[in-house]
Amino acid sequence: MATISKPKTLRFKTTFFISFFLCVFSAFGQRTLSGKTIDQFLESAIGITIFDKDTIKIGQSDLNGYFKIKLPKETDKLIFAGVGYEWATISVPKECENLEIILFLASTYDFMSPRKVDRLRKKEFEKLTELHSQAFQKGIFKTEKPCVIRKFELDFPNLDEIRRQDKLRKKQIKTKFNELKIGDIIKVPYNVIQRHNGTDITTLNPYSYTYDGENFDCIIKGVITKKNKRKGGYNLVYRVIDYPDCNYDNMVINEPYYPSQKLKIGETIKFNMKYSKVLKNK
């Protein structure tokens, strides 16, 4: 009997010590944080989901806005998200154990530019320190100043780059327009929509100047007969001389701000480079 029970005892002790060391290692590998979430009106923000930097859920605030989470020691960023609230991304310093977070209710900004929206949001964000102090004075928060680090985040972080690219494109269009002369041959790409209105008409819509692709449904070759900058546009009139890629019946060109024009050799087409794409004649 002794020879049978001894291995079981050894196995039990081995399992116990392995479990003990794993628990100790796990405890040392993470830290426990607690805190409270409120809104800018100092009311409890309930049901706020807490994510780590990889957007994995690690906790949620209760009906009073309180929460308690375990965070791996190597993780120092958290995301607080809730329905009807703006998301908040924070950095948690090593000495910070009590997280007191103010969330802004998501607002609707009608008929405003993205830049103005972010300007208004930043104005509210700059009130965070004052709001935190008010919450402390009313006994809602335990500390007068937040221990977390939080930076203002733009709703439209790529807006400036988009505007820069659009400004560059418009400059390129202006340069190309100025370089074109009456008598020059151009190629204009079109998108084909067949019989979309229940008739046998094939509609050709010009590609936007923002389109960067190289696959076009139809390319019309023409010679410039007129050009002007009226009504804020880069207007061209070209006479159709060829369209070998457009093998469709009853084709009509639909240009923005111009009446539909039937496509045939010798037809003059009005065209605005401000909105539509023009290819170099190779």
Taking the C-alpha atoms of residue 198 and residue 137, their distance in angstroms, rounded to an integer, is 70
Q: Are 122 and 152 in contact (CB under 8 A)?
A: yes
Give the residue carrying structure tokens 């409120």.
Answer: 38
User: Does residue 106 carry a pLDDT above 70?
Assistant: yes
For the ranges 91-105, 117-131, 162-176, 220-234, the lowest mean pLDDT is seen at: 162-176
Q: Are 276 and 185 in contact (CB under 8 A)?
A: no
- Give the chain's domains with CATH numbers: 27-150 (2.60.40.1120), 181-272 (no CATH)
Contacts 24+ apart (CB under 8 A), 129-133: 131/40, 131/42, 131/102, 132/100, 132/102
Taking the C-alpha atoms of residue 277 and residue 209, their distance in angstroms, rounded to an integer, is 4
pLDDT tens by residue, 17-61: 545 444 443 445 688 999 999 999 999 999 999 998 888 899 999
User: Does residue 259 carry a pLDDT above 80?
Assistant: no
The pLDDT of residue 101: 97
User: Does residue 277 carry a pLDDT above 80?
Assistant: yes
The pLDDT of residue 27: 46
pLDDT tens by residue, 73-87: 778 899 999 988 999
The pLDDT of residue 195: 64
List Cα–Cα distances, 15 to 7, 8, 22, 138, in angstroms.
12, 10, 11, 51
pLDDT tens by residue, 154-177: 876 666 666 777 788 888 888 999
The two three-digit tokens of residue 270, written as one number: 């009005």
Q: Are 78 and 149 in contact (CB under 8 A)?
A: no
Q: What percent of the chain has pLDDT over 70?
A: 83
Taking the C-alpha atoms of residue 248 and residue 156, their distance in angstroms, rounded to an integer, is 43
